[in-house]
Structure 1
Amino acid sequence: MSNTLRYSNYNPLWKEEFHKLKTHLDSLLTTLIIDIVHVGSTSVESLGAKPIIDIDVIFSENLEFIIKILETNNYLYEGTKGIEDRHAFKYLKDDFYEHHLYVIKQGSDNLNNHLTLKRALQNNSKYRKQYQDLKQSLIKHSKQDREFYTNGKTSLITRILKEESLMKSIILGGGCFWGVEAYFKQLEGVSTTEVGYINGNGETSYKEVCAGSGHVEAVLLRYDEEVISIKKILDHFFNIIDPTSINKQGNDVGVQYRTGIYNYQPEQLPFIENYITVRQKEYQKPIRIETVTNLTFYPAEDNHQDYLGKNQNGYCHIDLNSHKNVK
């Protein structure tokens, strides 16, 4: 393994290589750990990175057994390197893709920061560009100084984490994104909205989506949970969709108009699933809402942002005044 820092454009191979490593680590540790998570820049679709896969193995107990098993399977234990609840390992062979392995305690600040940063980069194209540009600049400045590279990212990461702590976010697909955005922009507690594309193959455009790329037209909501809860957001979501419809909302037909709840925080999933189960009692047909997280959101072109704010008589499949009926 070279000590020279390298930069690479996003490579779909990274996702495949992570799953190979995950399968291997699962076979060694499955009864001792909680989860194995792909983190860092290589985990974010479309983001350029150093071509080294970062892996967090999440545990709550049995640390000594985990260390022993990894050491007997070609991993060198390198200690915490000064970071509490994070244990670093170096792989000594070359039969897997180059990777950094961390055994990290469930609920630790370091794990939460890894997951928060990943989610922020997936949701925010501006963060992705800033982070990518910074990494390229740092590597160009010094390809040998890993400490300089790591420390150089600290200020931007800290800012992103601070901004993410102030607002929650979730992404909703509910038919034509013009109307969905206009509806949610009215709600107290929703601070910003952005329309875009999600749950397809890579970056795309409106033209490609309309031609059947497979992406969903969706809206990213940033909201203050002290003002509006996830339950209230879902109440409003159900108010403007037919949750039993497949690839159709209002007069709009196509795979891009399927309904979905995306990039929720993992701890929100049980509530979301229970909410859908309860609401199912109101419908004879099964609810067809996708629930998927860990996706990259691609913002739509500027002319689609706040479309109905710019075009007062523009098309909308939603009754924008119906938010008053949600108690």
Structure 2
Amino acid sequence: MTSSTPQTFVLAGGCFWCLDAVYRRVRGVLGVRSVYTGGQTEHPDYESVCSGTTGHAEAVEVTFDPAVVPADVILDLFFTGHDPTTLNRQGYDVGTQYRSAMFPADEEQRQEFEAAIARAQKLFEDPVVTTVEPLGPVHEAEHFHQDFYNNQPFNGYCQVIINPKLAKVRKRYAMWLTD
């Protein structure tokens, strides 16, 4: 197998637990980290981000090997793992911290992200409201939030919210998954 330089995308699609659970099951994903980004507070924490006053989004930082899983698959999974047509909301989670947003590290990523939004729009009747925002500082979320689904599989949120998203991802992307 040939190896390539790993790539990292920072993506926000509602609660970071959902996207974390999705990406941890994808072949070629080297790491997933739940983070806060897109805000103005220097040291955000869960409580302050949930207040909606910091400007941060709950996001995931996904590092992957593009020789194993193409960037387009990583981005298309993003649009499968959340509803990109709801502004500042994912299900019961409401507020700008749950916005659908992509944070490109450079111009090439910005173009990839915009192309992914255009692809996704063809799959949705309602307008995709995902924003492309500058990547600023990325702050790791508290330890409790890392790999939440695998650590808390019987948690009610996991059962009611994450499991249906994982089922949808399995149906559409089984060939890219490890389980």
Instruction: State how far apart, in whole Å, the 2-side matches of 1:311 and 1:279 are.
Output: 30
Alignment partner of 1:253 out of 94, 109, 118: 94
| Structure with bigger RCO (C-alpha 8 Å, 6+ apart) | 2
TM-score, scaled to structure 1: 0.47
Does the Cα contact within 8 Å between 1:193 and 1:222 map onto a contact in 2?
yes
Instruction: State how far apart, in whole Å, the 1-side matches of 2:75 and 2:5 are.
Output: 21
Q: Kindly provide the amino acid, as one letter, of the partner of residue 238 in structure 1.
A: F
* Higher Rg: 1
* Residue 205 of structure 1: aligned partner: 45
Alignment of 1:187-198 (within 5 A): 187-198=26-37
1:82-128 CA distance string (max 9 Å, x none):
xxxxxxxxxxxxxxxxxxxxxxxxxxxxxxxxxxxxxxxxxxxxxxx
Instruction: State how far apart, in whole Å, the 2-side matches of 1:182 and 1:289 are.
Output: 20
Instruction: State how far apart, in whole Å, the 2-side matches of 1:279 and 1:323 are.
Output: 14
Does the Cα contact within 8 Å between 2:37 and 2:57 map onto a contact in 1?
yes
The runs of 5 or more residues in structure 1 that have no matched partner are 1-164
Instruction: State how far apart, in whole Å, the 2-side matches of 1:254 and 1:246 are.
Output: 9
* Residue 169 of structure 2: aligned partner: 323
Instruction: State how far apart, in whole Å, the 2-side matches of 1:308 and 1:272 are.
Output: 26
SS of the residue corresponding to residue 126 of structure 2 reads: coil
Alignment partner of 2:118 out of 273, 277, 284: 277
The alignment's C-alpha RMSD in Å is: 1.7
1:13-47 CA distance string (max 9 Å, x none):
xxxxxxxxxxxxxxxxxxxxxxxxxxxxxxxxxxx
* Residue 182 of structure 1: aligned partner: 21
Instruction: State how far apart, in whole Å, the 2-side matches of 1:295 and 1:311 are.
Output: 30
* Residue 177 of structure 2: aligned partner: none
Quote the offset at 1:268 in angstroms: 2.6
Instruction: State how far apart, in whole Å, the 1-side matches of 2:100 and 2:38 are.
Output: 11
Q: Structure 1 pair 324/284, CA: closer, same or farther in 2 (3 Å)?
A: closer
Does the Cα contact within 8 Å between 1:263 and 1:295 map onto a contact in 2?
no
TM-score, scaled to structure 2: 0.83
Give structure 1 regions of 4+ aligned residues with deviation exceeding 6 angstroms: none
Instruction: State how far apart, in whole Å, the 1-side matches of 2:65 and 2:32 are.
Output: 12
Count of equivalent residues: 163
Does the Cα contact within 8 Å between 1:192 and 1:222 map onto a contact in 2?
yes
Q: Structure 1 pair 265/225, CA: closer, same or farther in 2 (3 Å)?
A: farther
Q: Structure 1 pair 265/228, CA: closer, same or farther in 2 (3 Å)?
A: farther
Q: Kindly provide the amino acid, as one letter, of the partner of residue 167 in structure 2.
A: N
Q: Structure 1 pair 182/214, CA: closer, same or farther in 2 (3 Å)?
A: same
Does the Cα contact within 8 Å between 2:57 and 2:96 map onto a contact in 1?
yes
Quote the offset at 1:199 in angstroms: 0.2
